[in-house]
Chains A and B, each alone.
Chain A
Amino acid sequence: MENLSEKLKNEFKKDIEPIAGQDNLMIIKLNKKSLIKKLSWEIKRYFDLLYCLTVVDYAPVFELNYVFSNYRNNDVLVIKVNIDQKDFNIDSISDIFDSANWEEREAYDLFGIKFDGHPDLRRILLPEDWPGHPMKKSFKVDDEIRNWTGLDMKF
């Protein structure tokens, strides 16, 4: 873990800043979202899987939390990336971590974030012709959503 943090500091310098840390937990903020792919290749040497990808809605800015974990020990690494609502896309890391495939599809489904380079960016939980992205705070349940069944039939 210490090896990794020193290596990342040398590699990325001002683009990353450590926020908090304990013995086996490290939280790092990444300032440039275009560097996520490069950072993931570095992380791949120490961490085997991306086990969680969460998105938090802070009004115009959305915060992505990539949580990486390990099979060998209890190390956990959290990478925080902010993306703006106007520029609502980020590079996909599904070719580096396989589990990112479905996690990114879920983030796309519920928040509408576009992941560039994703092999199969479809909705994963909701029906494919669903209107809107329900986990955004700007989303409101109106009559169109309430009465939507996706079916043509009426009884």
Chain B
Amino acid sequence: MEDSNDFSYPGMYEIIFMKSQKFINAVLNWGRSNSLWPLTFGTSCCAIEMMTVGATKVDSDRLGVLFVGDSPRQSDLIMVSGTITKKMARRLLTVYEQMPDPKYVIAVGACNVSGGLYHDSYNTIEGIDRIMPVDVFIPGCPPRPEQFLDAVKVLQKLIRENKSKAQTHGKSI
């Protein structure tokens, strides 16, 4: 009786393949982390702070976050800033599903972290992690523009270490 699950050492070609894949992944992650194109999903006051992030004083272009097309089909980071009501949840999901993989989510403001001011309301999603996977939360009501840069830094670190939600859920490529 022979079992099919006996262990065999990897050959030279497999080792080369594994090493090269690791190298390619590192290069891909480095590239992705340095060119995050955001989709700005602003529904209320946090969006005002988000505008400052793209402007001259707090220049997010330095980190590769270019506020360009604003089309979900060409962006890989969605900044959900503002209260998400239950009617808006479906619209948000529609936009989110149009984005190509891998996609990253930053939840901005107290409303998106826990419901914030509208906690226990009948018409507010209490934290958007109930409806979509979130990589970075930014607390504050509304947060300062510098916190956005910090969140981008954290997200870049996550992507380089293969720890973002898109990568751990197996949708990185």
Q: Which A residues have a C-beta under 8 Å from some C-beta of B? A: 125-127, 130, 134, 139, 141, 145-146, 148-151, 153, 155
Contact = CB atoms under 8 A, between A and B. Distances in A.
B89 A149 contact: yes
Contacts, number: 39
A27 to B, nearest CB: 32
Contact of B90 (A126, A130, A145, A150): A150
Given A126-B123, A141-B120, A141-B122, A149 B133 contact: no
How extensive is the interface on chain B, given as a class?
10 to 19
A146 B118 CA distance: 12
Contact of B131 (A126, A127, A134, A153): A153
B39 interface: no
Contacts of A150: 86-87, 89-90
Interface of B: 86-87, 89-90, 93, 120-123, 125-126, 129-133
> What are the 4 A-B residue pairs with the smallest beta carbon separation, nearest first?
A127-B87, A134-B122, A141-B122, A145-B122
B132 A155 contact: yes
B120 A149 contact: no
Contacts of A146: 120, 122, 126
Given A126-B123, A141-B122, A149 B86 contact: yes
Contacts of A141: 120-122
